[in-house]
Amino acid sequence: MPESGLAEQPTGTALEGRILVIDDEEDIRESLEALLTLEGYAVDLAPNGGEGLRKLESREYEPGPA
């Protein structure tokens, strides 16, 4: 199988931390998940604010930009 040129990350680890993406558009959530995963982040997704708040209550995420 040809190599894609991308470094593979071990399953279940996050080199950079964990990020929560909240967006009502599935395509945007999935695109951000793919990009952030390539950058070494673990990514959780939420389709709306209510679900995002529930996830924030159960896990810690990286702070946003200052």
pLDDT along the chain (66 residues), means of 10: 44 72 98 95 96 95 72
Predicted confidence at residue 62, as pLDDT, reads 75
Predicted local distance difference test score (pLDDT) of residue 63: 77
- What pLDDT is stored for residue 5 in this prediction? 44
Closest CA to 29 of 39, 19, 17: 19
Rounded Cα gap, residues 53 and 48, in angstroms: 9
pTM (2 d.p.): 0.70
How confident is the model at residue 49, as a pLDDT?
A: 97
In terms of Cα–Cα distance, which of 11, 20, 9 is closest to 60?
A: 20
